[in-house]
Amino acid sequence: MINKFLAKLDIKKKLIFLGYAITVPILIVICIMLFISNLNSSKKSQIESTQKELSSLNDSLNIVLEDIKNLSTYISINEQITKLLTTSDDTINNNPQLWYDYAPMQIIHDMISIEGYIKTIAIYPENNIRPYLRGLDGSSYNSDFKNLKSSKLYNQTLLSSNNMLWQNFNKGTNELYDYNRTDKLVLSRIIYDISRTKILGYLVIGCSTDKFYDIIEHNIKFDDETVIIFNSRGDNILTYGDLNSKLNNYLLSQEFQDILKKSSNTYIEHSNHTIYLSKTNENSTIACKIVPSFKILNNLIVLIDWPLSLFIGVLISLLPILMLLSKIITAPLINLSKNMEKFSKGDFEQYIIINSNDELAQVGKCFNNMVDNIKILIEENYIIKLKEQESELLALQAQINPHFLYNTLNSLYWQALNEGYEELAESVLSLSDLFRLVLNQGQKEVPIAKEMLLVRKYLEVQNLRFYNRLTYSIKVDKNVEDFIIPKLVIQPFVENAIVHAFENTSSDCEISIIVKQINDYIEFRISDTGIGMTQEKINQLFDRESEFYQKQRIGGYAIKNIMERLELKYKSKFSLFIESKENIGTTIILIIYKNVGM
C-alpha cells in the first residue's frame, strides 16, 4: 500500500514524506515524555503550594486559638480567682456581685471586648461557689455543674492530654447551653491548683465561628475546596464547605483517625480527592483541606501547551528544512534533466558541473562524456561547414558602441555650428555630454559635482524641448563637491519634476537645486513650481511607476528604484521627504549622512 503511494510521488515529495514518517513518531514520544514530566511537576507544585497554603491557614487559626488559650491560662492562674475557687466561706454566695468584688472580671471583660469574637465565658467552681456565667450574645449556660460534670464534654476534657479540649456547639440547646444563639467553637479546660493535684473548677469559653470562617475564606482559592478543623482527639470541630457522605465516612474511619494521630503534615489520595493535613504540635488542632483531584486535569491545556507547541513548531519548521534538503538532493537530477532536454533540441554545449563524488556525479560524468563523443561526431560531419557560414555572417554585421555614438554627435555638433545653428549645436553638445555622463564608462558611483553636471546637461536638453520655458538654478557647497554618491540618484528627482510637474502645463517652469552640508549630513533640496501633487499621488511615487513614464526616463530609475539603491548603500542612514501643494509646487528633500557609505 505504501509502496504504491510512494510510486506515484516524485523524488522531492518522497523525501519529504519519508522525513516526516521518521520524525513524527520520535517527536510524538518526546512530546508524551514532556507532557508526563510537566504533569508530574505540576502535581508536585500543586501539592507543595496547597501544603504551604494550609500551613499558613493553620498558623492564622492558631493565632486566634492561642489567644483564647492564653485567656484561659490567665483565668486559671489568676491569684484572686484561685483564692475564690479555694475558699470555704459559703456566705459569699449571698453577694450577687461576688465575682466582680473578689475577682478581676472587669479586666477579663475588657480583654474579651478587645478580641470581639469571644461570646460566652463560664467558670464552674468545685467548692460550691456560685458559678460565673456570662453570655455576651444572649446565650445562657447550663448552671447545674453537677449535671455538667456527668456530661461527655467534661469527661473528654478531663481525659485529654493537657486537660483542654476544643468542641463545636451548634445553635440551640445542648449539654453545655440552656440556649445557644449562634454556632460556637468552645474551649473547655479543667482548672487545677498550683501543684496540679486538685481540681478547683471548670472553665468554658465560647467563640463565634464567624471569626474562623473569615480566616478560612481569606486562605482558600476555589469554591469547591473544603476545610475541616479537628481537635487533638480527632473530632471534627469546624467544617467550611461541602462534604459528601463517602468522604465523611472516610474521615470518621479508624484508618483516617490513625493518620491524624501519627502524621503532622501530609496528604492522602482518596475518592478522587486529595486530603491535606497540617498540625503544629501534638496538642494543637489539626487543619485539613480537601481538594478535588481533577484540578490537575483542569490545567491540562496549560500542561500540554508546551509539548503541543513543540510538536506543531517542529512539524512546521521541518517542512522548509526537508524541502531544502530535497532540493539539494534533486537539484543535480533536475539540472541533468534540463541539460538533456536542451541537448535533445540541438544545444550541444550542455555540460554538467560536478561538485561531488556521489552516484549523481557519476551520472553527470557519463553525460559529459556522451556530449563530448556526440560533438566529435557532429563536428566531423557538419560543424566545420556551419562555422564557416557563421563567420561570414558575423563579418557583415556592424557593432555600434558608445565611442561611435559620441563621435557621431560631435560631428553633428560641428556641422550645425558651421551652418550657423548655434542653438541646435549647443543642444546636440549637451545631449552628447549627457550620454557620456550617463554611461560614465560603467562607473556606479560619482562625486556630487559630476552628478550635478549630469543634471545640468539634462536640464539644458529639456530646456530645448520646452522652448525655453524652463528656468533652473543649481547651487552646490564647495566642501561637498567631492563627496561620492551613487550615480543617477539626484537626476531622477529632477526628471520626475519635469515629467510630472511640467508635462501637462503651458506655463513657465522653474526648478531649483540646492546642495549643502548641515552638521554631519548633506542635504539635497529639489524644488519646482509645477502643478503639485496630492498625498495620494505622493504615495504612488514610492510604489510602482506607470510604464508610460518608465519609457521616458534616461536611466530607467523611478523613485522606488532610488529608495532601494539608497537603502542598499546607506541602510537607515538617509531620509527622503516630499512636500507638495497643488498648483503651487513640490519640494523633495534628500538627506545623506556623510559618515556612512564612504
DSSP state string for 59-77:
HHHHHHHHHHHHHHHHHHH
- 3-state secondary structure at position 581: strand
- Asked whether the beta carbons of 16 and 326 are under 8 A apart, the reply is yes
- Amino acid 525: pLDDT: 95
Question: Which pTM does this prediction carry?
Answer: 0.49
> What pLDDT, on the 0 to 100 scale, is given for residue 396?
33
Distance separating alpha carbons of residues 318 and 326, to the nearest angstrom: 12
Say if residues 181 and 172 touch (Cβ distance below 8 Å): no
Residues 6+ apart with CB under 8 A from 198: 192
Q: Write the single-letter amino acid at 567.
A: E
Asked whether 64 and 219 are in contact (CB, 8 A), the reply is no
- Residue in this structure with the C-alpha cell 530645448, named with its chain if needed: 464
CA angle 94, 96, 101 (to 5 degrees): 100
What is the three-state SS of 451-504?
A: HHHHHHHHHHHHHHHCCCCEEEEEEECHHHCCCEEECCCCHHHHHHHHHHHHCC
Residue 293: how many other CB atoms lie within 10 Å: 14
- What pLDDT does residue 404 have? 45
One pLDDT digit (tens) per residue for the chain, 598 residues: 666 666 666 777 777 777 777 888 888 888 788 777 777 777 777 788 888 888 888 888 888 988 999 999 999 999 999 999 999 888 888 888 899 889 998 888 888 888 788 999 999 999 989 999 998 888 898 888 888 998 998 999 988 878 899 999 998 888 899 999 999 999 999 999 988 889 999 999 999 999 899 988 888 877 788 999 988 888 888 999 888 888 888 888 888 888 887 767 888 888 888 888 988 777 788 889 998 876 555 566 666 776 777 778 887 877 788 777 776 766 667 776 777 777 776 666 666 676 666 666 677 778 777 777 777 776 665 544 544 444 333 333 333 345 445 555 655 656 666 666 666 666 666 666 666 666 554 567 889 998 898 888 888 888 777 777 788 899 999 999 999 988 888 888 888 888 776 666 667 788 999 999 998 899 999 999 888 888 888 887 777 655 545 544 554 456 777 888 888 888 788 899 999 888 888 999 999 987 765 4
Q: Residues 6 or more apart from 372 whose CB is under 8 A from it? A: none
CB distance 456 to 479 below 8 Å? no
Q: In what order do the strands lie in the sheet with 286-292?
A: 236-240, 226-230, 286-292, 273-279, 265-270
Helix (H, G, I), strand (E, B) or coil at 415: helix
Quickly list H helices, 193-299. 209-217, 245-252, 254-262, 295-298
Give the separation between CA 86 and CA 63, rounded to whole angstroms: 32
The predicted pLDDT at position 73 comes to 92
- Contact present, 580 and 564 (Cβ < 8 Å): no
Q: Give the whole-angstrom CA distance, residue 259 versus residue 250.
A: 12
| C-alpha cell belonging to residue 113 | 471586648
Residue 394 pLDDT = 35
- Whether residue 421 contacts residue 437, with contact meaning beta carbons closer than 8 Å, is answered with no
Collapsed DSSP state (helix, strand, coil) of residue 206? strand
Q: Which helix (H) or strand (E) holds 132?
A: strand 132-135
Would you state the pLDDT for residue 227? Answer: 92
Q: Which three cell numbers stand for residue 21?
A: 514518517
Scan for cell 445557644, then name that residue. Answer: 180
Contact 234, 255 (CB under 8 A): no
Strands 236-240 and 164-169: unpaired
Residue 428's closest CA among 408, 413, 414?
413
pLDDT at 536: 84
pLDDT of 395 reads: 34
Amino acid at the residue 235:
D
Q: Whole-angstrom Cα distance, residue 385 to residue 391?
A: 10
Tell which residue, 183, 168, 283, has the closest CA to residue 233.
283
